[in-house]
Amino acid sequence: MVDYKSKTCGRQLEPVNSRETTMTCSVCGALTGPRGLSGLKVRQWVCYACGADHDRDINSAVVVLNAGLGMSHERKAAKVA
């Protein structure tokens, strides 16, 4: 349905894998967020790699947005290598 709607609006759909988006820091790309079933109740967390403070849902949305725009840390690393 999203693909159909994007085409009718003249937009390009960029599918994004949402796996690990709640654990990935939107600032540095490190996987330092809460993990496992017990981590689901954690709503705020601090990245141990860069010190950024995150709201779990907002951070996940930013990670997905960056991936959709082609600005994910994984893609940057792939372009450099």
Listed by start position, the domains of the chain span: 17-80
pLDDT tens digits, one per residue of 19-64: 999 999 999 999 999 998 888 899 999 999 999 999 999 999 999 9
Secondary structure (3-state) at 5: helix
Instruction: Give residue 27's pLDDT.
Output: 94
Segment 65-73 long-range contacts (CB within 8 Å, at least 24 positions apart): 66/26, 67/16, 67/17, 68/14, 68/16, 69/14, 70/14, 72/29, 73/24, 73/28, 73/29
Segment 67-75 long-range contacts (CB within 8 Å, at least 24 positions apart): 67/16, 67/17, 68/14, 68/16, 69/14, 70/14, 72/29, 73/24, 73/28, 73/29, 74/29
Q: Which of 4-8, 21-25, 35-39, 65-69 has the highest mean pLDDT?
A: 21-25
